[in-house]
Structures are given as structure tokens and as C-alpha cells.
Structure 1
Amino acid sequence: MSTPVTEPTPQAVSSAAPPPKGGYRSTKVRRQRVRAAWLFLMPMLVALALVAGWPLLRTFYFSFTDASLSDTASATFIGIENYLVHDDGAWYGLLTDPVWWTSVWNTLYFSAVSVSLEVVFGVIVALLLNVEFKGRMLVRAAVLIPWAIPTIVSAKMWAWMLNDQFGIINHLLMAVGIIDSPIAWTASASYSMWAVIMVDVWKTIPFVALLVLAALQMLPKDCFEAAEVDGIHPVKVFFRVTLPLITPALLVAAIFRLLDALRVFDVIYVLTSNSTSTMTMSIYARQQLVEFQDVGYGSAASTILFLIIALAVVIYLYLGRRQLGVDQ
């Protein structure tokens, strides 16, 4: 007995048809969500354009002029002379200034070392705070104190503690016999960079630890219980299970700290002022703008600093989209 063959109905054909060209992006719901998103974002974008966009455009403009701090209205356009110019057989400008390149190196070195230490110690602190013990909530609150203290206040506090004559750091190190004589931590070219790195790491470890701890609290417990039953070593569990699962939170913490470190100013300026051994790009730009009153030259330094930070953001966004598998 043969089974009768039925022709597909028009409704079935239409339901089996492929989605419209463009997929979900071209649907009505998608367009409504996009319009709603822009509607909610518009007040913030307008405020951001007024607060940050206009000063940024003026900085770009001044970087191509000979403006001075005493009279910015009479600035004249000079092209890229603040960046690079050839005159009388020699090159001049920001890109030929050895002090500028020293500040670039100091910024990159400070950023790489401080962020690396903060990530490592932040993970360690988060792992310790994730363990259940008596008084854990009190310890968690105490760990956040360095991050809660304003940067200027903490930098000034450490400046007194690191003082070579009456600072407590030298007193303690001499008491235990580690050093024989006081060290000028913030005035010595050999120790000043490590001193500011130590202060920055001390202040921002809680930020990294807080993000990592939040990620640890969201991890499933089943895989860790199975690893414990199987007798797998905790170190191996950390590198094979825990670390891959908290990597997204680590990347967020690292990029935020990297952006802060690239534009660092306050903690270094309070501790070492305009010292060449610790001068960063922000301090260099401030020196040109305020002390030398050369708005054009200082704006050129600020523009390059902005471009470097913008490049770091673009790279992070690109890597983030690649990790999420977004093609467009």
C-alpha cells in the first residue's frame, strides 16, 4: 500500500523560506532597538561632546599653531612645525626632543610594570578573599581602603613615608638591617621610578582584586568539586580551569588599568614633580603648557598622548570582538 504524496501548502513554503537578506539586522525589532538605544544615548553623547569633544578639538587646533598661554587669541597657523620641522640643516620639534622620548619610554615602562604587578597581585588577593574564613567580610572591606583614598592624598602620604630624613620606610629598613643609611627614594634616579610604581600598585591592587573576585564568585562549583574528588593539584586546577574562566574579567581590569597608567600624572607629579627620571607624557605636556607657557607645543604632546591611548582602545575593542566571534 503506497503512501499518498501531498503537495506542500503555500503556508509551509513561506514558513520554510530563508530569512530576509541581512538577517536579524533588517528586522523591525532590530531597528526599533537601535532607535531606542540611540535615543537613550543621545543626552550622554551631547554632554560628552560639550565636556570633552570641544576641548579635544581645540587641543588639536592649538597643536598646529604657535599659541602661548598668555595670548591664545593671536595664535597663527604654523602647520606641523610643533611636531617636526627642518630648518637650517637640522630637525626640530616634538619628535626630535630627547626629553619627550624619555617621557614616552618612562610612560610605557611604568604602564607595563605597574599593570603587570597589579594583575598578578590582584589575582592573588582575590583568590585569598574568595576562601571562606572567619572575618572575611571585614578583610574585604579593609582591602578596599587604598583604592578609596584619593590619589593626591595617598601620594602625599607616601611622599612623607618615603622621605630620606624622617620617613618611616627608611626607619624600618634600617631597624631590621636591610639598609645602612637613609635612601632618597623619590629623589634618586635609581629608585624614584620603582618608588612611584610601588605606590601605584599599592593603590590600585584592590581595583583588580575586586573585578577578579566578582568573576570568581560567578564560577560554577561543580568543576572544582570534581577536580577535588579526582585529586588534581590546586595549582593545576588554577591554570587549567580557574584562569581561563576569569580571563575576560582580567582583560577588562588590565585594559582599564593600562589606560589609566598611560595618562598617569597625579601620583608621579606629587612624588617626583618634573624629575626627568620619572617624567611621563602627561607631565611633559603640563610642563610645556604651564611652566613654559607654550600652548602649541604642549598641545602637540597632548595630541600624541591621546592618539596612543586611542590606539590602545581600538586594539582592545578589536581583540574583544574577535574573542566574541563578531565579524561585523
Structure 2
Amino acid sequence: MLLVTAYPMLQALYLSLFRYRLTNPDDRQFIGFDNYVTALSDQLFWQDLWNTVVIMVVTVAVELVIGFAFAMVMHRVIFARGVIRTSILIPYGIITVVSAFAWQFAFSLNNGFVNGWFSWLPWIAADTNWFGDHWHAMFAIMVSEIWKTTPFMALLLLAGLSQVSEDMIEAAKVDGATWWQRLWKVILPNMRAAIMVAVLFRALDAFRIFDNIFVMTKGAQETESSSFLTYRQVIEQFQLGMGSALSVLLFLSVLVLAYGIVKLFRVDLSQARGEG
């Protein structure tokens, strides 16, 4: 882990303190924290961060609801359990770039099926241009992300659901609790640790979203994410110093996000492992 992660992180931190363009490697100048000041004072950085947060919050929230429904189905189904579980998990097994191309085609104005199939909805018409403005493009990106990663959320929630004691559920039934009461008072409280892990993993993954945006919009219509901004600085503009600073800021944002999620759920991990 140290060889794979520590050295690149320290190297990025070191390069972020320089004005360093790959097309002119001999002209490397130490500028301290100027790259960070430039990034944090740029409106584009905050716009891309806002896009990243919106995508993360919406996709994780939707995936949590749908994933829990899928987990309930996979947990309770008796007939053809293997077939149903495999069918639900298929999207997660598809390479992200491939699924992004598929959804780009689905939302295409000329060849896609979304406008034709869902034109009965009041906000969708036969000539809706999904990549013609910011929010339509953001919606298409989020749909592709939700379709691809909901099975992963369902898999983590299924593991937590299998740990809920059936005796507790049966006792609640005997006491006259309704299905909703059993869900809110018995099932979800005993799944808090699993839900935290699922939300944490997916939130961190969604915060680093890149593939879908690269394939579907290439950042057009102000759909750039923080990761895509870093890519443009390093790969397209060869700004290793600024790109390294952006990657460090992205890393710090991920740390703050992880800390916030853990604090939000307030899970006693020792008790969740059965040590308490």
C-alpha cells in the first residue's frame, strides 16, 4: 500500500508547490501555495465542485432507495434466486465506459430510444435534446451512473440485511407491528452499519466520477466534475503543478466527505462487529 499509494500522493503534493508545465520541463519554479490560491479563487473550480456534489448526492440517494428494494427482493425471493440475483447484478459487471456509450446512444436526439419510449411524460418530447443544456445533460449522466452502480449498493445492503435477526422480525409481528413499523423500528436500525458502509463507498466513488462525463459530454454544458477538471489540467494542458494541486484538493475533499459520513451515522463499529 505504501509503494502504490504513498509515493504518488507525496509526489503530487510536492509537484503542487511548483509552476511546472510538461511542455517546458526545464522552467520549473517553486511558487509555494500559489496553485492552491489560484484554484480556490477560480469560479470554475467551485462550479465543478458543485456539479460533483450534486451528482454524488442525487445518485447515492436514489441508489440507496432502489438498492434497498433490490436487496429485499434478493433476500426474500425463493424461486429462481440465483437467476434473479444475477440479473440484478449484470449492470455492475459492465465496464463503465461501455455503459456510458450505451446511455449516450439511448439519450441521442436522432437515434436514441428515450425520447420515443417516454414521450408520454410531460417533461419529455420527441425532440428533447438531452445534451443541449446543463440540467438535461446532468440528468443523463446521473441516470447512467445510477443504472451502473445501483447493483453494488444492493449487494452491500443485502449483506447487511442478511444479518438482521429473523427472531426480532417475528417478535415484532407477534406484537402487531405493521410492515412499515418493522422496517423503521427493526430492520433499518439493525442495518445502520451496513447502510453507512454502502453510502460511504458509493459517495466516495461518485465524488470521483469521470468516465461517464468523459464519454457522454466531455465536460460540455458545464457538466465538468472535479476529477475531469484535474484531467484537463494534466492531460490536455500539461500543467503538472496545477493538476497536482487540484488532485490534492480532491483528496482532501474525499477525506472530509468520509469523515462527515461516519460522523453522520454515528455507528459503533465495535458493537457492529459483535465485540460490545
The one of 213, 223, 231 aligned to 1:286: 231
> Partner of 1:158 in structure 2?
103
Q: Is the Cα–Cα contact under 8 Å of residues 115 and 125 in structure 2 kept in the other structure?
A: no
Q: CA deviation at 1:243?
A: 0.5
**Per-residue Cα deviation, 1:186-222 (whole angstroms, up to 9, x for no partner):** 3421211111111111111111111111222222211
Amino acid across the alignment from 1:118:
E
Q: CA deviation at 1:318?
A: 6.2
Range that drifts further, 67-76 or 107-116: 67-76
Q: Report whether the alignment pairs 1:231 with 2:171.
A: no
Q: Give the alignment of 1:1-328 within 5 angstroms.
A: 48-72=1-25, 74-84=27-37, 93-174=38-119, 176=120, 179-315=124-260, 323-324=268-269
- CA separation of 1:321 and 1:245: change in aligned 2, threshold 3 A: closer
Q: CA deviation at 1:320?
A: 7.8
Amino acid across the alignment from 1:159:
Q
> In structure 2, the residue corresponding to 1:267 is in which secondary structure?
helix
- CA separation of 1:75 and 1:237: change in aligned 2, threshold 3 A: same
Gaps of 5+ in 1: 1-47, 85-92
Q: Is the Cα–Cα contact under 8 Å of residues 67 and 75 in structure 1 kept in the other structure?
A: yes
- Misfit runs of 4+, over 3 Å: 71-74, 176-180, 313-322
Range that drifts further, 129-138 or 249-258: 129-138
Q: Is the Cα–Cα contact under 8 Å of residues 109 and 130 in structure 2 kept in the other structure?
A: yes
Q: CA deviation at 1:276?
A: 4.8
Amino acid across the alignment from 1:65:
F
Percent sequence identity over matched residues?
34
For normalisation by structure 2, the TM-score amounts to 0.90
Range that drifts further, 153-162 or 133-142: 133-142
Distance 2:148 2:104 in 1: 14
Distance 2:77 2:4 in 1: 45
Amino acid across the alignment from 2:252:
L
- CA separation of 1:139 and 1:51: change in aligned 2, threshold 3 A: same
Distance 1:298 1:154 in 2: 28
- CA separation of 1:314 and 1:229: change in aligned 2, threshold 3 A: closer
Q: Is the Cα–Cα contact under 8 Å of residues 102 and 276 in structure 1 kept in the other structure?
A: no
Q: Is the Cα–Cα contact under 8 Å of residues 131 and 221 in structure 2 kept in the other structure?
A: no
> Partner of 2:274 in structure 1?
none
Distance 1:180 1:157 in 2: 20
Range that drifts further, 72-81 or 298-307: 72-81
> In structure 2, the residue corresponding to 1:156 is in which secondary structure?
helix
Distance 1:177 1:207 in 2: 29
Q: CA deviation at 1:68?
A: 0.6
**Per-residue Cα deviation, 1:107-126 (whole angstroms, up to 9, x for no partner):** 11111111111111111111
Distance 2:92 2:111 in 1: 26
Q: Is the Cα–Cα contact under 8 Å of residues 103 and 276 in structure 1 kept in the other structure?
A: no
Amino acid across the alignment from 1:120:
V
Distance 1:51 1:139 in 2: 38
Q: CA deviation at 1:100?
A: 0.9
Q: CA deviation at 1:49?
A: 2.2
> Of the two structures, which has the highest relative contact order with CA contacts closer than 8 Å and spacing of 6 or more?
2
**Per-residue Cα deviation, 1:286-314 (whole angstroms, up to 9, x for no partner):** 11112222221121111111111122334
Distance 2:180 2:7 in 1: 51
Q: Is the Cα–Cα contact under 8 Å of residues 104 and 280 in structure 1 kept in the other structure?
A: yes
Distance 1:104 1:269 in 2: 16
**Per-residue Cα deviation, 1:239-279 (whole angstroms, up to 9, x for no partner):** 00000011110100000011111111111211111225211
For normalisation by structure 1, the TM-score amounts to 0.77
> Partner of 1:43 in structure 2?
none
Residue-pair matches, total: 270
RMSD, aligned α-carbons:
2.1
- CA separation of 1:272 and 1:74: change in aligned 2, threshold 3 A: same
Gaps of 5+ in 2: 272-276
